[in-house]
Structure 1
Amino acid sequence: MRRPTHLLLLAAVALGAAGCGVPPELNPPGSTVPTPSVTSSPTPSTLVPSLPPALPTPTTATGFPDSPAVACGGRPSAAQVITLLKRRGLLASSYRGRVTVGPLCAGTWQWSVLDTSNGPLQAVSEITDNTLRLVTAGTDVCSVEVRAGAPAGIRAAACDASPPSL
């Protein structure tokens, strides 16, 4: 029975040190808890309205706006997208095709269309911690993850545009 009392005392000390004070139920029986004093505040007519501080404009790690999707300028390159798809087994290691659309970037996301012997292959990727991560690839890349998480420019390119044809 000594251990629970010891833990209770330790919890009370930790809460007191954290600036929260001791909860009333942990005060010894018969002790009084000081009541907070009431201070007067200025009347509403004397308050000067102030605007909240301006929020900084969000910037992305790649420097691309969320909309519209724009040419990535080599960040990532078409070769990097192809290498990513080869590593994931979505393209044969002997693939010698090319990216026909993109990569187009918005925020930290990219969208590309590649020519394959089976028709166009779309790929959506994201740069996270300076690493290109495949989000989805296929003939229809408008997945839940793309619809819910991609910037507007990528959603427009991947979901709203008519399917690419070669």
Structure 2
Amino acid sequence: MPMNKKIRKPAATKSVKPAAAKARKPAAKVRQAAANPMVKKAMAIRAAALRPKARRRVGPKQVDLTGTWTGSDNNTYYFNQTAANVLWFAGLNNNGQVTSVYRGTIQDDEVTIVGQYSTVRLATPRNGNLRLNIESATSVTKVSQTGGFTFPASWAKV
């Protein structure tokens, strides 16, 4: 056998660990990292970014609801939104008589309006609660109501 040839040794075999074992960190290291305030903040930001977003509609900061509206009952409603996010409206029937008044507060979600109504000039006065949703600058829908008066299902800005 010639002297200038090298004898190859078989490659050393490495022990192969499962992927899950490689990914795991010792629990003590994880707890230590989580105790760091900067890591906590980063973890909170990451968790918030991964959280599913709620469907956000246009709120009062972007729109002014003040104006003349037509209900799906074909009656006219006059909305007045104040700076304190309070919405007032008066409903008129087809004869031009006021039939209802409403005072609601726009909630922090900028979508929901919650308030109370009272009827006017009806044989049996009625009052109750009315919850509305701001769909857009020109559309508001009824979510729920109590009491005996029937409000339209939606309103459209004229």
* Bin of the TM-score, shorter chain as denominator length: 0.3 to 0.5
TM-score (norm 2): 0.39
TM-score (norm 1): 0.37
More helix by share: 1
More strand by share: 2
Look at both structures and tell me which one has the larger radius of gyration over its CA atoms. 2
